[in-house]
Amino acid sequence: MSIHRRTSTSEDRISSLPNTLLCQILSYLSTEESVRTSALSKRWTHLWLHVPALELDSSNFPDDFEFGDFFDNFLESGEEDIKRFDLVYNVEEHIHEDFVTRIDDVVNRGVCHLTILNELDVEEELVRMPLSLYSCRTLVSLNLYCVVFDAPRAALVSLPRLKTMHLEAVKFDGMWILGGFISRCSVLEELSIVTDDGDELGVVIVSSKSLKTFKLKSMRGEETEDEGDPTVVIDAPRLEFMSITDYQSKRLVIDNIGPFAKVDIDFIFKVEDDDDSFGAMIIDFLTKLSTVREMIISSRTLEMIHDNCEWELLPQFANMSHLHASFLETSWNLLLTFLGCCPNLQSLDLEFDSFPEPEEIKLSFVPQCFQSSLQFVGLRTPIRVEGTLSEMKLPMLFLRNCKVMKKLMLNESFRNVIQKVRGIPKMSPQFQTVALSNI
């Protein structure tokens, strides 16, 4: 069979497919690629206009008029649902009425997945969302950057299918709007909030019976002189994963999370130095986390605990099986105290900015997990290990004192001393290997 005949046969097979199926296939392409198919034949000329997905970047058009004309032609071409809509918005002149009308049309066309990234200067041009967005019954995922939410009446907010929401540098026309918005999303499972300089969110109440993943991050610099990030209250009994990154707030309150959650915490409380309640507030926060299964904790959060808490008041983390902690040189004593609060710990990853002095690396007591549960230890440092006493004592401490340890993992910084470490006598009869890793 000739190449020409095979090509014709393939074209005939594609042409025999119904328009709905062809549009579904085109939805897996970018809008730019989808538009290019209009040159294939008359059959394809207008097919892209009926694809249930649209990706637009206003900066890819010669001017605002071309962008608006393309957008309007797509919206006016049919009544089919728009399942997915992605917009990067950076026009020369923002016209509120035109923007709201177009987004309102997208929302009312049954959109399921909506992303709007506004790259305009928010202080100059407030890009507001249409009120219809607050009651979109088809919306499943929502991703917004640098836009503004007005203050709708609570009765207007209903997003019965929304499962995933990411809000970054989003402004709210009222201090309590975000909390009310979250509470009206009855099946929300994933929530990500990134705060920014100038946010005036007041107290954010994350109250959800369905939420499984919550991520909170701040883009404020550590030297910011404002009052810090908003106070956040978390009441999510089904929460399985919580991440708090680069956060500085007067208060973080946990009322309820899942009993075996995984948490990643990197924050400091931004309070006055003479605040007598500071230590108690930290202990209360940690106590509410005492049921977690896994924890990642930053060096600055540990330093805050080290400097402001009575260590004997730290709670027991009886469920914790895995701990990943970053430690400063001065935090060695806190490390032992913290390990003493994890009686059933099985896996431990430690990251050091530098090594403690040799005389500091000792056991003032043996944590219970060393005796009964700790099986896997990972050590990492950015500093090349040269085999000094301090650098050898750290792996030695675990090898000589952990009774059920099976594996010690060291990062590449330990390559020069790996053979010496392997020669250290081991306490555990079950011990298998000392290995280098990219941990």
Give me the DSSP letters along 136-204.
-SS--EEEEES-EE----GGG---TT--EEEEES-EESSTTHHHHHHHT-TT--EEEEEE-TT----EE
Tell me if 351 sits within 8 A of 328, measured CB to CB. no
Is 323 inside a domain boundary?
A: yes
Tokens representing residue 36 in the block:
């290019």
Is 7 inside a domain boundary?
A: yes
Using DSSP, state whether 94 is helix, strand or coil.
coil
pLDDT of residue 1: 41
**Rounded-to-integer distance, Cα 343 and Cα 367, Å:** 7
Tokens representing residue 324 in the block:
């990943």
Tell me if 261 sits within 8 A of 281, measured CB to CB. no
Q: What are the phi and psi torsion angles at 113 (to 5°)?
A: -130, 115
Q: Are strands 376-380 and 241-249 parallel, antiparallel or unpaired?
A: unpaired
Distance (Å) of CA 189 to CA 184, 213, 325: 13, 6, 27
Sign of the alpha-carbon torsion through 59, 60, 62, 68:
negative
Is 324 inside a domain boundary?
A: yes
Is 418 inside a domain boundary?
A: yes
Mean pLDDT, each 10-residue run in order, the chain (439 residues): 46 63 62 60 57 82 91 82 90 92 93 94 78 94 92 80 95 78 93 80 85 89 62 93 86 90 90 73 93 94 86 92 84 80 96 73 83 94 70 84 92 83 87 79
Is 289 inside a domain boundary?
A: no
**Rounded-to-integer distance, Cα 292 and Cα 72, Å:** 51
Those residues whose C-beta lies under 8 Å from the C-beta of residue 55, and which sit 6 or more positions away, are 30, 31, 32, 85, 86, 87
Count structural domains, the chain.
2
Is 411 inside a domain boundary?
A: yes
Sign of the alpha-carbon torsion through 312, 316, 321, 327:
negative
Angle at alpha carbon of residue 109, lines to 105 and 112, rounded to 5°: 115
pLDDT of residue 6: 47
Helix (H) or strand (E) holding 300: helix 299-308
Tokens representing residue 82 in the block:
């728009």
pLDDT of residue 405: 94
Is 400 inside a domain boundary?
A: yes
Q: Which domain holds residue 374?
A: 316-439
| Own/partner pairs, 156-160, CB within 8 angstroms, 24+ separation | 156/131, 157/181, 157/184, 158/134, 158/184, 159/134, 159/135, 159/184, 159/185, 159/186, 159/188, 160/186, 160/187
**Rounded-to-integer distance, Cα 135 and Cα 424, Å:** 65
In this structure, what CATH number is given to the domain that contains residue 43? 1.20.1280
Sign of the alpha-carbon torsion through 164, 192, 306, 237:
negative
Amino acid at the residue 337: T
| Own/partner pairs, 397-402, CB within 8 angstroms, 24+ separation | 397/361, 397/362, 397/363, 398/374, 399/424, 399/425, 399/426, 399/427, 399/431, 399/434, 400/424, 400/425, 400/426, 400/427, 401/363, 401/366, 401/370, 401/427, 402/370, 402/374, 402/377, 402/427, 402/428
Among 34, 50, 66, the domain boundary falls at: 50
Output the pTM of the full model: 0.85
Is 35 inside a domain boundary?
A: yes
pLDDT of residue 416: 79
Sign of the alpha-carbon torsion through 424, 428, 432, 438:
negative
Sign of the alpha-carbon torsion through 121, 126, 130, 133:
positive
Distance (Å) of CA 146 to CA 113, 172, 194, 219: 18, 10, 10, 13
